[in-house]
Amino acid sequence: MPPNDPGSFGRAIAQLRKNQGLTQKEVADRLSTYYSDDSAYRRIENGKRLAGRAAAIAILVQGLLVTDLEQINSCLALAGYNSLSADEAASRDLQKTEANYPSGSTPENPGLWNQTLARPRFKSFGIVLAFGSIVLSVWIASRIGEWWFPLVSSMMYAALYVASLFLESAYEFDPARVLPAAIFAFCFMLSTSVAALAVDARCVALGKHYAMWLALTVFVLAGVLQWLLVRPALPAYTIVKTSYPSHTAQSAHLKNTEYFLFIVLLFWLPPFHCISVLRREAHLGNSGLVRELLGHWFLVGKGILCLNVEGLWVIFFVIIVAAMLMRGRLLDSLEPHPMKNFYTTLFYARALIYFTMCIVCISWYADSIRNPSVLNP
């Protein structure tokens, strides 16, 4: 094929786009720096105009998400451009591969998962990391007395971050990038969450009134650090197209992290800290103080700052109503896309984990207060 051939390059990228089930508008939206609308990009595919080398690379890497170095270089050759240098390939995390994903595979097809999990190095590292974090978390939880609640709630909390990573990358799901980040996020958040609860329990046992604030600091720092470390696994541009301006994948995961910390701040840490303090006061013989605190709608004193059970249930149902309204606004505004069903499934999975964790936290709090054997020495 002759060099500098707009037609050959256009046909090549058009075929790549069709193989992925994308529209010209969807590709053009990812290339707003180079093309103002899909009509400008359409001229490239139709061979009426030859993209510059930088624009051609952006079309392949950013617009069509091609990661096979040989495939990119072949397309560049059709346009008469030099292949990517080693530095250019490294900066874009591109590599030579024997083949692309198996024919017919999609992010909803287990074939992609198997391809990633079959890599010996990743499989071994993932198993060791997951096993080590679970063992460590079980050991830490066993030091807290009633170990099952810190462990189970921490696992659910860590699962929220996995759901968020899958959700925000659903439209351009790449297991080779997302799955390692998800495993790390789960292990990191599981271990740090159990550790934060252990810190609170230990400080309460020592009579430190700053226990809850120290534990909250651990939760917040862990959430921020988690986002900084997994951010490279998510696109730095908007991939979920809605009828209104939406977040980039990275900023959407940060927003989700803030939502998850809301559980910590309201439904999880304050009730856990409250029960720890009430148990200590009951053990010291301050039953009058315990009864007085439990008689208020808002429990304040001895380092406690927490709503009573009824107050938490009221807020929980308010959040349910708000979430239903937000759900309609988001899902109804989604533009057609081959991965829309995958995204919607993950959206509901994340909501299920989120609200189930809230219910578990409030129910444990209520049971701990109403069970005399828990608070009485």
The CATH number of the domain where 62 resides is what? 1.10.260
- Within this chain, do residues 175 and 71 fall inside the same structural domain, yes or no? no
Average pLDDT over residues 143-153: 89
Helix (H) or strand (E) holding 304: strand 304-307
CA-CA distances (angstroms) from residue 151 to 189, 199, 243, 275? 12, 14, 41, 16
Grouping H, G, I as helix, E, B as strand and the rest as coil, residue 185 is helix
Q: Is residue 36 one of the residues assigned to a domain?
A: yes
Q: Is residue 115 one of the residues assigned to a domain?
A: no
- Within this chain, do residues 145 and 218 fall inside the same structural domain, yes or no? yes
- Within this chain, do residues 126 and 256 fall inside the same structural domain, yes or no? yes
- Within this chain, do residues 233 and 274 fall inside the same structural domain, yes or no? yes
Grade residue 200 by pLDDT with cuts at 50, 70 and 90.
Answer: very high
pLDDT at 107: 37
Query: What are the pLDDT digits (tens) for 237-285?
Result: 777 777 666 788 899 999 999 999 999 999 999 999 999 998 888 888 8
Q: Does residue 193 carry a pLDDT above 50?
A: yes
How are beta strands 304-307 and 298-301 bridged, if at all?
Answer: antiparallel
Q: Does residue 3 carry a pLDDT above 70?
A: no
Q: Does residue 324 carry a pLDDT above 80?
A: yes
- Within this chain, do residues 81 and 156 fall inside the same structural domain, yes or no? no
Average pLDDT over residues 341-349: 91
The residue written with tokens 């591969």 in the block is: 97
- Within this chain, do residues 313 and 361 fall inside the same structural domain, yes or no? yes
pLDDT at 121: 55
Q: Does residue 315 carry a pLDDT above 80?
A: yes
pLDDT at 354: 97
Q: Is residue 13 one of the residues assigned to a domain?
A: yes
pLDDT at 314: 96
182: domain range?
120-375
8 Å CB contact between 35 and 63: no
Q: Is residue 183 one of the residues assigned to a domain?
A: yes
Helix (H) or strand (E) holding 7: helix 6-19
Q: Is residue 113 one of the residues assigned to a domain?
A: no
Number of domains in the chain: 2
Q: Is residue 114 one of the residues assigned to a domain?
A: no
- Within this chain, do residues 219 and 260 fall inside the same structural domain, yes or no? yes
- Range 83-92 burial, b when 16+ CB lie within 10 A, else e: ebeeeebeeb
pLDDT at 376: 55
Answer with the one of 52, 71, 91 that is the final residue of a domain.
91
pLDDT at 227: 95
Average pLDDT over residues 117-132: 66
Average pLDDT, the chain: 83
Query: Which position has the higher pLDDT, 194 or 32?
Result: 194
pLDDT at 372: 58
- Within this chain, do residues 135 and 67 fall inside the same structural domain, yes or no? no
- Within this chain, do residues 130 and 41 fall inside the same structural domain, yes or no? no
pLDDT at 76: 87
pLDDT at 102: 36
Amino acid code (one letter) for 72: I
The residue written with tokens 């999609």 in the block is: 106
Average pLDDT over residues 117-127: 58
Q: Does residue 112 carry a pLDDT above 50?
A: no
Lowest-confidence region among 112-126, 261-275, 331-345: 112-126
Grouping H, G, I as helix, E, B as strand and the rest as coil, residue 307 is strand
pLDDT at 139: 92
Q: Does residue 363 carry a pLDDT above 70?
A: yes
State both tokens at 356: 């189930």
Query: What are the pLDDT digits (tens) for 162-190?
Result: 999 999 988 877 777 788 899 999 999 99
Q: Is residue 16 one of the residues assigned to a domain?
A: yes
8 Å CB contact between 200 and 212: yes
- Within this chain, do residues 84 and 204 fall inside the same structural domain, yes or no? no
8 Å CB contact between 187 and 168: no
pLDDT at 123: 59
pLDDT at 117: 41
Query: What are the pLDDT digits (tens) for 25-83?
Result: 888 888 877 777 788 888 888 888 888 888 888 888 888 888 888 888 888 888 888 88
Answer with the one of 71, 91, 111 that is the final residue of a domain.
91
Query: Which position has the higher pLDDT, 372 or 355?
Result: 355
- Within this chain, do residues 144 and 70 fall inside the same structural domain, yes or no? no
CA distance 263 to 358: 7
Q: Is residue 270 one of the residues assigned to a domain?
A: yes
What percent of the chain shows pLDDT beyond 90? 37
- Within this chain, do residues 154 and 296 fall inside the same structural domain, yes or no? yes
